[in-house]
Structures are given as structure tokens and as C-alpha cells.
Amino acid sequence: MVKSHHLAIEPGDIGRFVILPGDPGRCKVIASHFNNPEKVAENREYVTYTGSILNEPVSVSSTGIGNPSAAIAIEELRAVGADTFIRVGTSGGMQPHQIPGDLAIITGSIRDEGISKHYLPIEFPAVANSDVVIALREAAEKLGYNTHLGISHSKDSYFGQMAPERMPVVNFLKERWKAWVQGGAICAEMESAILLTLGAIYRLRVGSITLIAINQDKPELGVSTDTAPVIKTAIEAIKLLIQLDHNNEKERINDKRN
Amino acid sequence: MTRETELQHHIQMKVGDVGRYVLLPGDPGRCEKIAAYFDDPKHIIQNREYNTYTGTLLGEKVSVVSTGIGCPSTAIAVEELIAIGADTFIRIGTSGGIQPEIRTGDVAVVNSAIRDEGTTLHYMPIEFPAIADLDVVLAMREGAKKLGIPYHVGPTQSKDSFFGEIEPDRMPVDSRLNQRWKAWTAGGTICSEMEASTIFVLSSIHRKRAGGVMLMASISEKPPETPEEFADFKSRFDISRPIQVAIEGLKTLIQQDIQNC
């Protein structure tokens, strides 16, 4: 079998569970939480490690920045057998009570990007899988992290968010930002919308958790760069999902017997 | 006149007339049947398509208010209910079941909605997702599990045009409607109805909780022909199914709220 065009992976290289950071440089750190991690591929911004958790093969694969490269990653990963994904990343907090260092568990995404329209009309909601969201919430609770649950603003332009004043479409950007905040969006990031949309189309389980690195409207609160809590929460959530799958399998077998 | 005593223009109710928990059917004629599941249900008022009963569940005040058909009248109901203190909304009703594995009589636990309508554009840019509250979705899912009623969790298509869905081929924009329907199906949409997206978007804006439980009639199942098949269809396409699931789910939410406070 030929290796996939961008990620350079083939069936057998990865587990059904995949953690998706944006940054290729973060893969090794995440893989260090697996048993027997090994690098299986590196090409462009896509770095992949595979190891195991609770004896299940688990992988980490970087998406690069943005929905377009994230789409390629999840397309090629699901083509070789992955079906459960947790994005881990960083984001900007959007509600006044959010403090840098808090975690954001994403229940759905604003599709403020271009690529998901190449798959589904814009009216379609980008929604995280409930079981993944519950696992992330339980994991964060267990680990004692301060967590927010809600909608992410998934955008294409980093500087359109960080420096709207220097964009020719400044009024458009600011008016929409106000609407997202009023609608309760909790964090701004750049990959979840397409991951959740492709989850719907391919019937994958997809969830997303980010570190709130800054509060967009309260720069005086400073910056957090400690991604350990998001990574630990994602690892713990994968353990919970592996256990959930085992329990469901047992129930299914019992149902057949009865 | 203070806010406390002020009657809301369309629903013709004030603070105290409804509980914080509100079931939202489309049909005013269905409210009495739903209220029969409450303890001590009382008819409060009917104005236009807005019909209201209030009673209790586990000692907590709960209401059922009809929205009428479509997002415009639903937005009015939700806005005015929020103004008089409601904070948890459960849409309840009938719908078409889209995915091939869905059988007539299965229940849809709606977790999100396609914004295929005009009303929510007056509130939020179209990119914003219409999403149900996670705890409401979980409570409804548990309710269906507990009652042994087959259920599916997923998005609904919330549309403005009933006949655009049922008879797309006679619409001037038929090819657009058919192409989009194919996309909704490919995206895993489980059912089609006409109000959920507005309830979800308004709830996000006002930081309220919302969800939905819909009875589904399969669009791919062979229509009944013989008297036996009709009887079987009728026994499965039973509105008491989503009502029971919603009541069961509501009880779970009430218990959680009591524990959390």
C-alpha cells in the first residue's frame, strides 16, 4: 500500500484514537504519555507518533495551523483507520471571566473559515461528539482544572483576530466578534470547525480542548503557555473512552446472549 | 407597570405564570396532552398559537407552551418566556426521520440544528452553530435509555418551508433544495422539523439551556398498506414516546439542579 500523500502513513501505522495538536513540535511531548511511543512518519507540518494507552494503539498527529491543513490530516488519518480524535491546542479566551491557564472544552464551532463550505453548506452546525465532550469534562474535573464548556470561534485569520484594526475589513471583523461574544463563544482558535464538520460527514467521534493562553479582551491578565493540563486532560479522556468502548462491547455481547 | 406585573405581548403572561422548565411543542392542541404528565396541571391562557399549561414535576414548577409552526413565532415565544423567568427549554414534536437506519417511532435526541431558516440571521451571523445544551442532551438520552425507546442523537434540519421538504420538485429552486437535502443526509442529520435552530441560538445568546426530543416517521420505510401494517405504524408513531422521554429527562435535570444548588 502506498503511503498517504501528505502525512505519509499507511494502515497499521496508527491507532483508532488520535490526538491532534496544531504544532508538530508538540507531538513528541504528547507521545511521551503513551507506552512505547515511536515516531512513524514526518512530512511537511505532519509529525506522527504511535504508542499505546491501556493496551490500545493510540497516535498523535500534528495538523499544522488552520482548517485547510487540519482537513488533510483528518482525511488521511481516517482513511487508514482512525475514528476517534481529540484536538489539543491553544486559544484566546472570549468571555470576561476566563483566565489564562483555564481550559476550554469545545462543544461546537463557529464556521468562520473557508474550507468546511467545500464539504457542507454553511447552515450545518459543527458539533463535537457528546461522548468525547463528556470524557473531556470528566477528565478535567478529575484532574481539578478550571474548565469552560462551550462554542469556539474557528477562524482562518490569526491577525484578523489579534489585530483587526489593521485589516481593511476592520468594521466587519469587529461587528462579528461582538456577535460571537454575545452568543457565548468561549475561545478563538483555528482548527476545530473542520475537524467537527468532517466528524459529522464520516461519522467519527471528534472533540477538542484548548488552553486559554490569553483573554482576548483582557490582555492585562497576561499569557499562559503551559500546555501540560490540556495534554493530561486529553490523555485521561482517551482512557475514559477506551473504557467506555470496552463496557459498550461487553453490553453488546450480553445483549446477544440474553 | 413593573416588569413583574407586565404581560408579555404575545404569550399574554407575566412573571409567575410559568416555571423555569418549559416544554415547547409546535401544536397548541398538543399542550393539554403533555400537561397531563404534570402534577396539578392548570390551563393558564391561550392567545394566538400560544397555549400554556403550568403544573409541577418533583415539586418544581414546569410549563408547556406551544410555539406555533416555524422559527418566527418560536422566537417570539422563547424571547417572552425568558423575559418572565424560563431558563430550560425542551422542544417536543414530530419530524421526518432521515437516516436509513431510523425506523418510524424512533425518537430523535436533538443535539444541534441546521440553520436552514431566516429568523436566526436576525440574531447571529450564519457561521454560528445552533447547539443544544450538553446536560439537556445527556438527560434526554438517559430518559430514552431508561424507557427502552429506540433513540438517535444528532442534528435536525430546521427549515422554514414544509412543502420545500415534502415536495421539493414543484419548487422553482428544486435542484438547490435537492442538492442541499443530499448534503444534510451525508452530514448525518437525523430529522427535519421547523423550530429547533431558533430555540438553540436564542438560548446561547441568553445563556439558557435547550434541547429537543422528536418523534420520527422514517422517510425511507415502506408506507403501510394493509390494515395490520397501518395498526403497526400507528402503534409506533405515538406522540407519547417523545413526551415520556422529555418528562423523564426533565426529572433528571430537576434532580441535578436541586443537588447543585
| pLDDT above 90 (res A76) | yes
**How many residue pairs from chains A and B have C-beta atoms closer than 8 A?**
81
Q: Is residue B4 part of a domain?
A: no
Domain hosting B72: range is 21-260
Q: Is residue A150 part of a domain?
A: yes
**pLDDT given for residue B2 in this prediction:** 57
In percent, the amount of chain A with pLDDT more than 90 equals 94
Q: List B residues 52-71 in contact with A (Cβ-Cβ < 8 A).
A: none
**pLDDT given for residue A251 in this prediction:** 84
| pLDDT above 80 (res A240) | yes
Q: Is residue A12 part of a domain?
A: no
Q: Is residue B15 part of a domain?
A: no
Those residues whose C-beta lies under 8 Å from the C-beta of residue A253, and which sit 6 or more positions away, are none
pLDDT tens digits, chain B, 261 residues: what are they?
Answer: 556 678 999 999 999 999 999 999 999 999 999 999 999 999 999 999 999 999 999 999 999 999 999 999 999 999 999 999 999 999 999 999 999 999 999 999 999 999 999 999 999 999 999 999 999 999 999 999 999 999 999 999 999 999 999 999 999 999 999 999 999 999 999 999 999 999 999 999 999 999 999 999 999 998 899 999 999 999 999 999 999 999 999 999 999 999 998
Cβ–Cβ below 8 Å for A126 and B129: yes
Please name the residue ranges forming H helices in chain A. 27-31, 67-79, 130-143, 158-162, 170-182, 192-202, 228-257
**pLDDT given for residue A217 in this prediction:** 86
Domain count, chain A: 1
Q: Is residue A11 part of a domain?
A: no
Cβ pair A27, A49 in contact under 8 A: yes
Q: Is residue B2 part of a domain?
A: no
**pLDDT given for residue B158 in this prediction:** 98
Cβ–Cβ below 8 Å for A120 and B183: yes
Average pLDDT taken over every residue of chain A? 96
The residue length of chain B stands at 261
Those residues whose C-beta lies under 8 Å from the C-beta of residue B5, and which sit 6 or more positions away, are B14, B15
Cβ pair B193, B160 in contact under 8 A: no
Q: Is residue A148 part of a domain?
A: yes
Residue A120 banded pLDDT, cuts 50, 70, 90: very high
Q: Is residue A36 part of a domain?
A: yes
Distance CA B200, CA B211 (A): 7
Cβ–Cβ below 8 Å for B112 and A125: yes
Smallest Cβ–Cβ distance between A183 and the set B141, B186, B204 belongs to B204
CATH number of the domain within which B221 lies? 3.40.50.1580
CATH number of the domain within which A49 lies? 3.40.50.1580
Domain hosting A213: range is 17-252
Q: Is residue A9 part of a domain?
A: no
Q: Is B88 on the interface with A (CB under 8 A)?
A: no
**How far B124 CA sits from the closest chain A CA (Å)?**
6
A30-39, A99-108, B229-238: which range is least confident on average? B229-238
pLDDT digits (tens, 9 = 90+) for B135-171: 999 999 999 999 999 999 999 999 999 999 999 999 9
Decide: helix, strand or coil at residue A58: strand
Q: Is residue A63 part of a domain?
A: yes
pLDDT digits (tens, 9 = 90+) for B60-69: 999 999 999 9
Cβ–Cβ below 8 Å for B131 and A110: no
In Å, how far are A16, A108, B105 from B233, measured between CA atoms? 40, 36, 8
Chain B residue numbers with beta carbons less than 8 Å from the beta carbon of A109 are 129
**pLDDT given for residue B110 in this prediction:** 98
Domain count, chain B: 1
